[in-house]
């Protein structure tokens, strides 16, 4: 192919990406968690979901059960792999699915519905996402959101050098919140997710009045499956282990980040007793170029399964 034609195609695609990203950023008003639903009150798939299925060429009979079966097969990442690990080639162009992801509420910031909570609970994740979630929580505090206790929902997941590198643990370069001036690097860096979360909480600048909130660290163990394989603790496992600590019923604000907010909210909505009130919030996607299509579709498939079937798969 003529080199001029190749360059023209590349420039055209780049221009389209920029247009889509700018349009999304301009219209990206924040949402409340009650607005994030994949199904209608009648338990039918929302139009935005049906449109995405058509874009992805997912054939189905229109029923939620069939859509779940098809998306579980087509969109879930390879069993045993983490979201950040290389998977199969991208299932579809990010440019094509971005508008649908926005309509489904997977890109926008999700803000708290109230100003006061008994608990704020930060979901565990890779180091960068933990920093992002803690940064967002500080932002909420600065905006007037208050809570009495802080819970870090961590696990014994061994840290992965690709997403939990020594430089990231040491906050080099500064990512999100700045490191406290008097913070000392420990002689031995954390080896597990929960230890990493605890260290980051000590490492970064946090408002003095927020530091007075009692801190609770959940450290969910690895899980041995019926076939003898070991899997890391999931979101559901960490929430269940927190409940095993017998917390007093109260209002809960869970902290995530996009595109995971809707999926993780659906999990805690099922797990927590009715004596708890539940809200979930999280920062929006600031740079859509950092999104991985496979991760978004994997999360969407899990969210749909959870919203319809209620019980997390890991509990079977």
Tokens 């579709």, located at residue: 297
Do the Cβ atoms of 197 and 169 come closer than 8 Å?
Answer: no
Confidence at 107, pLDDT banded by 50, 70, 90 = very high
Report the sign of the C-alpha dihedral through residues 110, 115, 116, 122, in that order: positive
Q: For residue 163, what are the contacts with CB-CB under 8 A and spacing of at least 6? A: 84, 126, 127, 128
pLDDT recorded at residue 87: 62
pLDDT greater at residue 250 or residue 23? 250
For the whole model, what pTM was predicted?
0.89
pLDDT recorded at residue 28: 54
Reply yes or no on whether the pLDDT at 2 is more than 60: no
Q: Based on the number of CB atoms within 10 Å of its own CB, is 91 exposed (0-12), middle (13-18) or buried (19 or more)? A: middle
Q: What is the pLDDT of residues 270-296, one digit of tens each?
A: 999 999 999 999 999 999 988 999 999
Q: What is the pLDDT of residues 23-64, one digit of tens each?
A: 444 345 899 999 999 999 999 999 999 999 999 999 999 999
Distance set, CA 6 to CA 1, 14, 16, 37, 79 (Å):
7, 12, 15, 41, 37
Q: Report the DSSP pairing between strands 215-220 and 146-155.
A: parallel
Neighbours of 43 (CB within 10 A): 10
pLDDT recorded at residue 220: 98
Reply yes or no on whether the pLDDT at 12 is more than 80: no
Q: How far apart are CA 19 and CA 25, in angstroms?
A: 10
Q: How far apart are CA 96 and CA 20, in angstroms?
A: 9
Do the Cβ atoms of 63 and 53 come closer than 8 Å?
Answer: no
DSSP state of 180: P
Tokens found for residue 234: 């999931």
Q: How far apart are CA 1 and CA 139, in angstroms?
A: 51
pLDDT cut 70: percent of the chain above it: 87
Reply yes or no on whether the pLDDT at 18 is more than 90: no
Q: What is the pLDDT of residues 258-274, one digit of tens each?
A: 999 999 999 999 999 99
Intra-chain end-to-end CA distance of the chain, in Å: 53
Confidence at 227, pLDDT banded by 50, 70, 90 = confident
pLDDT recorded at residue 90: 82
Q: List the strands of the sheet with 146-155, edge to edge.
A: 215-220, 146-155, 116-123, 251-257, 277-283
Reply yes or no on whether the pLDDT at 238 is more than 70: yes
Tokens found for residue 207: 């408002």
Tell me the domains of the chain and their CATH numbers. 3-103 (no CATH), 116-284 (3.40.50.620)
pLDDT recorded at residue 84: 60
Do the Cβ atoms of 284 and 258 come closer than 8 Å?
Answer: yes
Q: What is the pLDDT of residues 138-188, one digit of tens each?
A: 999 999 999 999 999 999 999 999 999 999 999 999 988 999 999 999 999
Do the Cβ atoms of 217 and 198 come closer than 8 Å?
Answer: yes
Q: How far apart are CA 55 and CA 251, in angstroms?
A: 39
Q: How far apart are CA 294 and CA 270, in angstroms?
A: 26
Number of H helices, E strands in the chain: 11, 7
Q: What is the pLDDT of residues 69-97, one digit of tens each?
A: 999 999 998 766 666 665 667 889 999 99
pLDDT recorded at residue 1: 44
pLDDT recorded at residue 226: 86
pLDDT recorded at residue 85: 61
């Amino acid at each position: 192919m003529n080199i001029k034609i190749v360059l023209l195609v590349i420039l055209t695609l780049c221009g389209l990406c920029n247009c889509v990203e700018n349009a999304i950023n301009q219209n990206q008003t924040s949402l409340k968690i009650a607005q994030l639903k994949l199904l209608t009150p009648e338990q039918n798939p929302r139009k935005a979901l049906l449109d995405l299925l058509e874009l992805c060429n997912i054939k189905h009979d229109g029923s939620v059960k069939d859509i779940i079966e098809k998306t579980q097969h087509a969109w879930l990442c390879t069993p045993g792999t983490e979201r950040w690990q290389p998977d199969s080639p991208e299932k579809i162009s990010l440019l094509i699915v971005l508008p649908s992801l926005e309509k489904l509420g997977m890109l926008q910031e999700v803000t708290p519905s109230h100003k006061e909570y008994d608990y704020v609970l930060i979901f565990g994740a890779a180091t960068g996402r933990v920093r992002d979630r803690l940064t967002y929580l500080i932002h909420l505090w600065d905006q007037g959101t208050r809570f009495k206790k802080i819970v870090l929902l961590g696990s014994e997941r061994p840290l992965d050098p690709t997403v939990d590198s020594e430089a990231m643990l040491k906050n080099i370069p500064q990512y999100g919140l700045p490191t406290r001036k008097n913070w000392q690097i420990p002689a031995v860096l954390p080896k597990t997710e929960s230890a990493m979360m605890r260290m980051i909480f000590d490492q970064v600048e946090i408002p003095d009045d927020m530091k007075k909130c009692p801190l609770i660290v959940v450290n969910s163990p690895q899980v041995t499956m019926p076939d003898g394989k070991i899997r890391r603790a999931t979101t559901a496992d960490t929430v269940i282990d927190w409940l095993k600590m017998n917390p007093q019923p109260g209002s809960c604000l869970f902290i995530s980040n996009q595109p995971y907010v809707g999926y993780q909210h659906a999990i805690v909505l099922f797990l927590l007793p009715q004596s708890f009130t539940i809200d979930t919030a999280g920062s929006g996607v600031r740079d859509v170029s950092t999104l991985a299509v496979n991760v978004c579709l994997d999360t969407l498939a899990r969210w749909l399964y959870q919203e319809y079937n209620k019980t997390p798969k890991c509990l079977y």
